[in-house]
A = this chain, B = another copy of it.
Amino acid sequence: MKVPLTLLTVGSESLLKEELLQMMREEGATGFTVTQADGEGTQEFRTTEWEGPNVRIETILTAATADKILERLSADYFESFAVIAWLTEVSVLRGVKFES
């Protein structure tokens, strides 16, 4: 039996990784898939921040928790850091624990 949940994907510079994971854990996220990535931003406004190794973090959440984390990312990171984030509706099997 499948249940709908929300996948949050975050791309950021690697230096923010632990800080972002900690913030997401505070909001209830319990499991993450972390991938090394290279961002290639816009020439207009993101080139300098977006160099060096980057990280791509995925975590599955209820829609409410995903929204809360997205708001915190927006308030605390989008202005000053090369952080991007998006939400995708996904299905998982019931019984798998995704939040604390």
A30 within 8 A of B: yes
CA distance A85 to B5 in the complex (A): 12
Q: In the complex, which of the residues B38, B42, B74 contacts A100, with contact meaning CB atoms closer than 8 Å? A: B42
A42-B86 in contact (CB<8A) = no
Number of copies: 3
CA of A99 to CA of B11, assembled, Å: 17
**Given that A33-B37, A39-B32 are contacting pairs, would A70 and B56 also be in contact in the complex, using a CB cutoff of 8 Å?**
no
Q: Which of B21, B43, B92, B97 contacts A85 (CB 8 A)?
A: B92
The 10 closest A-B pairs by CB, nearest first: A30-B42, A86-B90, A87-B91, A32-B40, A34-B38, A11-B33, A35-B37, A86-B92, A31-B41, A74-B93
5 A-B pairs (CB sep. < 8 Å): A7-B86, A35-B35, A44-B100, A60-B86, A86-B92
